[in-house]
């Protein structure tokens, strides 16, 4: 199978040419009656984003992935380590340092116990620190994975690895794998939407929602909560809505004349894309407008319409999923608490960031649950790696502030919904949280599990590129679905 | 062989032929045809000798070279690569033979006495990304750059996918892992090492330094080992530089370095180099290569549809001493290329992709060409060549989220706004958005074949991007100026200008009726009509910029300030602050006048915990828009306008940085007197210095002119032009 050829053929073959003429009638009608059956028919033939059946029975239809860019210290959020507290301030044992590379730690650093109090929550007895009071209230709805590990300890490569399965640039992101594998349900919205907050995008740039060697139609579309939600979505200055309709009618008539002359099916494909653009101009601002949500919802999430915030993005994620978007990727920047500056001090800054996300992400779980959407929506939360149980000593010495260095060997993430066991604590680290020792979950395993819940088999999800039927998850052996996480 | 092409379709009429091959060869359609009309052959020669030729084909080559103006990865800071881009354009225009073009890019520095130009050519492999993220292992990223150079060399010149051989023997092609590292050894001796300073560089004067290649000498030279499973930390057996054993041997005189490798690549015994290049040129002209997988001539690629033709073209290319223009001329003057591109129902059914070449090519324009074409049709396109990259208008906020907040997109002035796409500044993490919509690659890695998609985001870009509207405005103005007064004459002229062919009566009628509909609507909407006719002033800020509160870079406005907390609503517009002290920025004190503080000159001392500052500004009766603070500060602060919160930025900036005012604050601004109030406070230990400097600017409303009775008629041509620039035929090479 050559999917590139297949894609081209769906866009060009005679087969489509015939269908599209029906579709055009539909497009002309849609101005009156909205998208209808005729278009669904057209889309299934012409549109690379048309819904496709999964490889396996799917538990989840959609994913909301909450990425905490910069990587929070999960030793201060989830991974309760009384032993680490006991040895706080003592030298890190030599055997944990030998042969290891760190981003900033030099020589022998001291162990660092968490400055925060931990308690168990819910029936599951899930340990969480005091700075996640809202998440504690949904402890029985989520599964905390306490034994994550990755291969990379610098931000950009680790973020790429988390989202593309590869630490180098040029590979598609998991959102693009999913829209490639499953298409999307609402053709008037992008299938893969990205929302960023916290002031910056991830270190690895837009490649973390790119499509790599997959066609660009599968890449994430960044929606913004200020300005045009999608670039060039608004009619330009001087063009009214009615004028836009007139121009599209004129454009369609002219293109049809040209199609008669050249007989090129690409022309018809272009006409239908212009009609879709017109529908997106209405549907995207509608779904992105949270101002009409009831007060109770705003209170639940802590949303303020018009602002750029993680809370607004969580509510938007729910609205997007509800409207049939397949994959929503949130990035919240600002978790890189090294402790070399006041604004990186884990004691003051981690609680601030935690406060920004705690209420909204818990609200998202509650809201999806009460709407009956949690079963079919998979939520994933986490950073790109962990942070050291040792206190960072930048330049080999300690200053006034406290923080932790990058750490690939152990960290926690949480998942909810989409067929993941609720109220679960999966895996464990050693006594000081240095290594994932019980049921370690590698990044590729996490990715394979996300795909599995969506009904996709990581081994079979391939694309012909550079002469190879390449597995999108990467060529490494053995990504395993984590059966223990599945309900 | 050429004569043996199938010829089912009749040749295209002459008037179409000139337009079509011009679009294919130089990237835009002809604006005016010379008098007297040229024959097709003469037109081809003229186009091949046009400076546009080098620009059009450089655009293709720069995808292969993964050319960009930024370093990639986290910071993605800018660097000077454009001398290399200019070298490519010049080399192509001078028709440098492809073998020499190859040798200079791979090993210009290893020429006996390398010239400046030859050194600049080696920028090809300095286009790899560098990671300046703090704490990264330079060796890790140097290794990635070297692997990229090996893989890119294989892809670009031989259509081979070396990449997967870095971890294991290639599964399908005869490239054992060991041989990958033997190739790696050729590239493993260069001085560059993923450092911030970009060395080695070549000084070109006037603050321009080009990144170049240079080999290490003596003890500094590196040993090369196989990397087990591709990891640079797991070193296996040592290897020496050597070419692939499955192919011809290296030429006798070839030295065991990059120069030797380059000579092996362009040796006439190399079965792939010429085939890969002629296939690539063919693909650009016909939309699909004779080997569809341009990037893979290996066992997993698609077999050629016309193997004998491919062989003949490759042989011919070498017989012509690698003359690129000559081989292109052969292709575009062929009967196959000159066939009309109409598709009969039967042909569409039997050969939808036109792989049998029974009709002329019809290919969608891509990325840069879409915009270049709109600018060319409207008469805006600048012919200026070479030099530093330019920043045409783009929407706000494209760079806002990139992690280096100090580098800003400043819209270029004058004709630099209308340069060809290949001169647009290319930042890998946030490339020019309308080109990305039209499938331009980010240029992080080598892209052999752009995959064309057909998405609504493309429609939104070319319909709504103000840059395309500006082009529509100018196409309308041009039509009004050049065509006779009758609506039908104007419609015919605008269509002819856009499509480079005489339009049919039906087409003219539809544009006439669209114009009438638009005119009727605009007759009742004078404001919109005038907006459509004054796009430039809406789009460009220069000339509309109004400084309301000047910061320390100018004269420095006089603020009222106090360091004792004032009672009550101190930020309110009506507060009497006449007892407060008077002074201008920068406020603060500098503990250590070096580094980022070096150029900060304190005018008004402030060394207490907090400072309260107020200043008035005037707004004209018609109001202003796009209010922005410009601030440089090391402290925490809140800013207010007329008592309403206006800004509370999150972090420190040691250069002046723009912050748009909050929407509520903008709403509180009224014509006449308004007040900015700022409370700044120390946010770190005493004695480490603190400072703040605040300016406020805005834009006056765009000039829309006085209403006239012709506005609706004229503006309706802008609407019609918006449609003309979006026609499928306009956006297609045919």
DSSP characters over A191-216? SEEEEEESSS--TTGGGGG-BTTS-G
**Residue A215 pLDDT grade (very low, low, confident, very high; cuts 50, 70, 90):** confident
**CA–CA separation, B580 and A451 (whole Å):** 65
Are the C-beta atoms of B687 and B591 separated by less than 8 Å? yes
Kindly state the average pLDDT of the residues B193-215: 89
Residues 608-627 of B with CB under 8 A from A: none
Residue A420 DSSP class:
B
Contact A154 B135 (CB under 8 A): yes
- Any chain B CB within 8 A of the CB of A106? no
Residue A294 pLDDT more than 90?
A: yes
Tell me the shortest Cα–Cα distance from B83 to chain A, in angstroms.
25
- pLDDT, residue A7, reads 39
Contact B301 A264 (CB under 8 A): no
**Residue B531 pLDDT grade (very low, low, confident, very high; cuts 50, 70, 90):** very high
Contact B531 A238 (CB under 8 A): yes
Q: State which residue of chain A sits closest to B439, comparing Cα positions.
A: A216
- pLDDT, residue A486, reads 97
Kindly state the average pLDDT of the residues B101-109: 98
Q: Which residue has the higher pLDDT, B212 or A38?
A: B212
Residues 160-179 of B with CB under 8 A from A: 161, 163-164, 167, 171-173
**CA–CA separation, A146 and A426 (whole Å):** 6
For A200-214, A234-248, B431-445, B514-528, which range has the lowest pLDDT when averaged over its residues?
A: A200-214
Residue B458 pLDDT more than 80?
A: yes
Are the C-beta atoms of A187 and A35 separated by less than 8 Å? yes
Q: What is the dihedral of CA B594, B599, B601, B602, to 10 degrees?
A: -50
Kindly state the average pLDDT of the residues B97-105: 98
The pTM of the full predicted model, rounded to 2 decimals, is: 0.80
**Residue B11 pLDDT grade (very low, low, confident, very high; cuts 50, 70, 90):** low
- Any chain B CB within 8 A of the CB of A241? no
Tell me the shortest Cα–Cα distance from A201 to chain B, in angstroms.
5
- pLDDT, residue B403, reads 54
**Residue A382 pLDDT grade (very low, low, confident, very high; cuts 50, 70, 90):** very high
Tell me the shortest Cα–Cα distance from B646 to chain A, in angstroms.
13
Q: Which of B135, B445, B464 sits opposite A235 (nearest CB)?
A: B464
**CA–CA separation, B589 and B608 (whole Å):** 10
Are the C-beta atoms of B639 and B678 separated by less than 8 Å? yes
Contact B455 A217 (CB under 8 A): yes
Residue B404 pLDDT more than 80?
A: no
Interface test with B, best of A466, A477, A478 (most B CBs within 10 A): A466
- pLDDT, residue B652, reads 67
Percent of chain B exceeding pLDDT 70 equals: 93
Tell me the shortest Cα–Cα distance from B527 to chain A, in angstroms.
8
User: B406 to chain A: which residues are within 8 Å by CB?
Assistant: none
**CA–CA separation, A315 and A360 (whole Å):** 8
Interface test with A, best of B73, B470, B505 (most A CBs within 10 A): B73
Kindly state the average pLDDT of the residues B89-95: 98
Residue pLDDT, tens place only, A434-481:
999 999 999 999 999 999 999 999 999 998 775 567 889 987 778 999
- pLDDT, residue B66, reads 94
- pLDDT, residue A43, reads 43
- pLDDT, residue B20, reads 44
Q: Which of A12, A238, A468 sits opposite B528 (nearest CB)?
A: A238
Residue A23 pLDDT more than 50?
A: no
Tell me the shortest Cα–Cα distance from A115 to chain B, in angstroms.
21
- Any chain B CB within 8 A of the CB of A292? no
**Residue B650 pLDDT grade (very low, low, confident, very high; cuts 50, 70, 90):** low
Residue pLDDT, tens place only, A332-354:
988 999 998 888 899 999 999 99
Residue A15 pLDDT more than 80?
A: no
- pLDDT, residue A217, reads 77
What ipTM was reported for this prediction?
0.84
Contact A257 B510 (CB under 8 A): yes
For A236-245, B373-382, B686-695, which range has the lowest pLDDT when averaged over its residues?
A: B686-695
Contact B302 A2 (CB under 8 A): yes
Q: Among A202-216, B59-73, B310-324, B689-703, which range has the highest average pLDDT? A: B310-324
Q: Alpha helices of A34-132 — where are they, by DSSP H?
A: 37-46, 82-86
Residues 59-78 of B with CB under 8 A from A: 72-74, 76
Q: State which residue of chain B sits closest to A157, comparing Cα positions.
A: B73
Kindly state the average pLDDT of the residues B561-582: 91
Percent of chain B exceeding pLDDT 90 equals: 62
For A290-304, B232-246, B449-463, B660-674, which range has the lowest pLDDT when averaged over its residues?
A: B449-463
- pLDDT, residue B666, reads 94
**Residue B734 pLDDT grade (very low, low, confident, very high; cuts 50, 70, 90):** low
Q: State which residue of chain B sits closest to A171, comparing Cα positions.
A: B445
Residue pLDDT, tens place only, A62-76:
999 999 999 999 999
Q: What is the CA radius of gyration of chain A?
A: 24
Kindly state the average pLDDT of the residues A150-178: 89
Residue B186 pLDDT more than 80?
A: yes
Contact A101 B173 (CB under 8 A): no
Contact B454 A11 (CB under 8 A): yes
Are the C-beta atoms of B364 and B731 separated by less than 8 Å? yes
Tell me the shortest Cα–Cα distance from A431 to chain B, in angstroms.
27
For A303-312, A415-424, B80-89, B649-658, which range has the lowest pLDDT when averaged over its residues?
A: B649-658
Contact B514 A343 (CB under 8 A): no
- CB atoms near residue A122 (< 10 Å): 16
Residues 102-121 of B with CB under 8 A from A: none
Residue B28 pLDDT more than 60?
A: no
- Any chain A CB within 8 A of the CB of B283? no
Which phi and psi angles does B697 have, rounded to 5°? -135, 165
- pLDDT, residue B323, reads 98
DSSP A121-181: ETTTTEEEETT-HHHHTTGGGEEEEEEEE-S--SHHHHHHHHHHSSSSSS-B-HHHHHHHH
Residue B130 pLDDT more than 90?
A: no
- pLDDT, residue B397, reads 77
User: A9 to chain B: which residues are within 8 Å by CB?
Assistant: 352-353
Tell me the shortest Cα–Cα distance from A369 to chain B, in angstroms.
33
User: B405 to chain A: which residues are within 8 Å by CB?
Assistant: 200
Kindly state the average pLDDT of the residues A222-238: 86
Classify A440 as helix, strand or coil: coil
- pLDDT, residue A80, reads 97
DSSP A372-400: T-TTTEEEEEE-SSEEEEEEP-BTTS--S
Residue A395 pLDDT more than 80?
A: no
Are the C-beta atoms of B474 and B380 separated by less than 8 Å? yes
- pLDDT, residue B188, reads 96
Average pLDDT, whole number, for chain A? Answer: 86
Residue pLDDT, tens place only, A82-112:
999 999 999 999 999 988 888 888 889 999 9
Contact B465 A203 (CB under 8 A): no
Establish, for the pair of chains A and B, how many residue pairs have beta carbons separated by less than 8 Å.
263
- Any chain A CB within 8 A of the CB of B427? no
A230 burial level (CB within 10 Å; 0-12, 13-18, 19+)? buried
Q: Which of B74, B348, B528 sits opposite A156 (nearest CB)?
A: B74
Residue B16 pLDDT more than 60?
A: no
**CA–CA separation, A110 and A91 (whole Å):** 4
User: A228 to chain B: which residues are within 8 Å by CB?
Assistant: 395
- pLDDT, residue B456, reads 86
Kindly state the average pLDDT of the residues B721-726: 98
User: B460 to chain A: which residues are within 8 Å by CB?
Assistant: 230-233, 277, 280-281
Kindly state the average pLDDT of the residues B697-714: 89
Contact B464 A236 (CB under 8 A): yes
What is the end-to-end Cα distance of chain A in Å, rounded? 34
Are the C-beta atoms of A55 and A456 separated by less than 8 Å? yes
User: B161 to chain A: which residues are within 8 Å by CB?
Assistant: 466-468
Interface test with B, best of A264, A279, A285, A342 (most B CBs within 10 A): A264
């Amino acid at each position: 199978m050559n999917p590139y050829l297949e894609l081209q053929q769906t866009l060009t073959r005679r087969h489509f040419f015939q269908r599209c003429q029906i579709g055009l009638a539909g497009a002309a009608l849609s101005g009156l009656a909205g998208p209808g059956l005729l278009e669904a028919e057209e889309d299934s033939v012409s549109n690379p984003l048309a819904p496709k059946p999964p490889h396996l029975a799917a538990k989840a239809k959609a994913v909301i992935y909450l990425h905490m860019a910069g990587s929070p210290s999960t030793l201060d959020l989830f991974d309760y380590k009384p032993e680490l507290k006991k040895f706080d301030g003592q030298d890190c044992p030599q055997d944990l340092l030998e042969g290891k590379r760190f981003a900033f730690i030099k020589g022998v650093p001291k162990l660092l116990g968490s400055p925060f109090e931990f308690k168990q929550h819910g029936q599951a007895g899930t340990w969480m620190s005091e700075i996640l009071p809202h998440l504690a209230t949904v402890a029985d709805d989520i599964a905390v994975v306490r034994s994550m590990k990755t291969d990379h300890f610098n931000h950009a490569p680790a973020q790429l690895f988390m989202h593309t399965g590869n630490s180098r640039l040029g590979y598609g992101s998991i959102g693009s794998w999913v829209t490639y594998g499953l298409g999307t349900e609402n053709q008037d919205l992008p299938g893969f939407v990205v929302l960023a907050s916290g002031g910056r995008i991830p270190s690895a740039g837009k490649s973390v929602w790119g499509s790599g060697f997959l066609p660009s139609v599968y890449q994430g579309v960044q929606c913004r909560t200020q300005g045009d939600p999608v670039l060039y979505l608004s009619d330009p200055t001087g063009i009214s809505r009615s004028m836009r309709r007139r121009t599209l009618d004129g454009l369609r008539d002219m293109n049809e004349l040209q199609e008669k002359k050249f007989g090129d099916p690409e022309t018809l494909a272009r006409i239908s894309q212009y009609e879709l653009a017109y529908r997106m101009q209405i549907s995207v601002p509608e779904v992105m407008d949270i101002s009409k949500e009831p007060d109770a919802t705003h209170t639940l999430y802590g949303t303020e319409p018009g602002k750029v915030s993680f809370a607004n993005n969580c509510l938007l994620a729910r609205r997007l999923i509800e409207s049939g978007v397949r994959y929503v990727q949130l990035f919240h920047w600002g978790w890189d608490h090294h402790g070399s500056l006041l604004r990186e001090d884990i004691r003051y800054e981690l609680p601030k960031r935690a406060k920004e996300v705690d209420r909204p992400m818990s609200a998202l779980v509650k809201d999806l649950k009460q709407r009956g959407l949690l079963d079919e929506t998979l939520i994933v939360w986490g950073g790109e790696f962990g942070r050291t149980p040792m206190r960072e000593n930048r330049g080999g010495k300690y200053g006034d502030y406290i923080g932790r260095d990058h750490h690939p060997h152990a960290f926690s993430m949480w998942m909810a919904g989409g067929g993941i066991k609720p109220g679960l604590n999966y895996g464990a680290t050693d006594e000081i949280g240095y290594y994932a020792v019980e049921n370690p979950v590698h990044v590729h395993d996490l990715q394979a599990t996300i795909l599995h819940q969506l009904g996709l088999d990581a081994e079979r999800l391939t694309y012909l590129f550079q002469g190879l039927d390449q597995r999108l998850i990467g060529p490494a052996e053995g990504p395993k679905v984590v059966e223990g996480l599945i309900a | 062989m050429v004569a043996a092409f199938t010829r089912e379709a009749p040749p295209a009429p002459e008037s179409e032929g000139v337009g079509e091959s011009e679009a294919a060869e130089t990237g835009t359609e002809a604006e005016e045809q010379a008098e007297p009309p040229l024959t097709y052959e003469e037109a081809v020669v003229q186009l091949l000798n046009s400076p546009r030729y080098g620009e059009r084909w450089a655009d293709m080559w720069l995808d292969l070279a993964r050319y960009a103006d930024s370093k990639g990865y986290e910071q993605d800071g800018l660097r000077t690569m454009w001398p290399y881009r200019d070298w490519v354009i010049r080399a192509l225009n001078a028709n440098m033979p492809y073998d020499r073009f190859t040798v200079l890019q791979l090993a210009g520095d290893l020429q006996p006495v390398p010239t400046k130009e030859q050194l600049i050519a080696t920028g090809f492999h300095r286009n790899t990304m560098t990671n300046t993220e703090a704490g990264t292992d330079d060796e890790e990223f140097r290794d990635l750059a070297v692997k990229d150079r090996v893989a890119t060399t294989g892809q670009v010149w031989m259509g081979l996918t070396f990449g997967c051989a870095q971890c294991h023997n290639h599964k399908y092609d005869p490239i054992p892992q060991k041989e990958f590292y033997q190739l790696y050894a050729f590239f493993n001796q260069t001085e560059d090492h993923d450092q911030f300073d970009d060395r080695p560089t070549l000084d070109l004067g006037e603050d321009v330094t080009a990144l170049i290649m240079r080999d290490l000498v003596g003890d500094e030279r590196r040993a090369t080992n196989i990397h087990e499973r591709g990891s640079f930390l797991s070193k296996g057996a040592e290897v020496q530089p050597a070419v692939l054993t499955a192919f011809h041997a290296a030429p006798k005189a070839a030295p065991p370095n990059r120069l030797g490798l380059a000579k092996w690549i362009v040796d006439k015994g190399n079965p792939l180099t010429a085939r890969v290049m002629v296939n690539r040129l063919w693909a650009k002209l016909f939309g699909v290569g004779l080997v569809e997988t341009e990037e893979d001539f290996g066992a997993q690629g698609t077999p050629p549809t016309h193997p004998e033709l491919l062989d003949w073209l490759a042989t011919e290319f070498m017989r012509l001493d690698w003359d690129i223009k000559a081989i292109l001329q052969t292709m575009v003057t062929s009967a196959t290329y000159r066939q009309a591109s109409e598709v009969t129902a039967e042909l569409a059914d039997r050969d939808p992709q036109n792989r049998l070449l029974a009709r002329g090519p019809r290919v969608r324009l891509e990325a840069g060409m879409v915009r270049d074409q709109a600018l060319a049709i409207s008469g805006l396109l600048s012919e200026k060549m070479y030099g530093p990259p330019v920043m045409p208008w783009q929407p706000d906020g494209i760079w806002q989220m990139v992690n280096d907040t100090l580098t800003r997109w400043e819209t270029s002035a004058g004709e630099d706004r209308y340069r060809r796409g290949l001169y647009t500044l290319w930042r890998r993490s946030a490339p020019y958005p309308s080109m990305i919509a039209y499938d331009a690659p980010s240029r992080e890695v080598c892209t052999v074949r752009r995959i064309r998609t057909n998405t609504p985001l493309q429609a939104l870009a070319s319909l709504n991007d103000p840059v395309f509207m500006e082009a529509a405005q100018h196409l309308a103005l041009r039509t009004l100026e050049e065509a006779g007064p009758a609506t039908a004459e104007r419609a015919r002229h605008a269509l002819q200008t856009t499509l480079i062919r005489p339009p049919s009566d039906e087409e003219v009628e539809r544009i006439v009726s669209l114009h009438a509909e638009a005119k009727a609507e605009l007759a009742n909407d004078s404001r919109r009509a005038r907006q459509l006719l004054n796009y430039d002033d809406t789009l460009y800020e220069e000339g509309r910029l109004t400084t309301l509160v000047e910061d320390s870079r100018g004269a420095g406005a006089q603020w009222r300030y106090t360091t004792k907390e004032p009672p009550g609503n101190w930020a309110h517009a009506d507060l009497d602050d006449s007892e407060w002290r008077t002074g201008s920025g920068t406020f603060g004190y500098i503990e250590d006048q070096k580094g980022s503080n070096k150029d900060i000159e304190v005018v008004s001392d402030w060394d207490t915990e907090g400072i309260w500052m107020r200043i008035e500004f005037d707004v004209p009766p018609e109001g202003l828009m796009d209010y922005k603070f410009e601030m440089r500060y090391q402290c925490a602060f809140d800013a207010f306008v007329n008592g309403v919160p206006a800004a509370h930025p999150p972090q420190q900036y040691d250069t002046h940085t723009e912050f748009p005012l909050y929407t509520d604050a903008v709403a509180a601004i009224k014509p006449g007197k308004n007040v900015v109030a700022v409370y700044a406070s120390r946010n770190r230990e005493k004695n480490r210095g603190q400072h703040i400097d605040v300016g406020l600017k805005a834009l006056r409303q765009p000039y829309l002119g006085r209403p006239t009775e012709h506005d609706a008629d004229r503006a309706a041509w802008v609407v019609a032009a918006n449609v003309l620039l979006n026609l499928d035929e306009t956006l297609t090479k045919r």
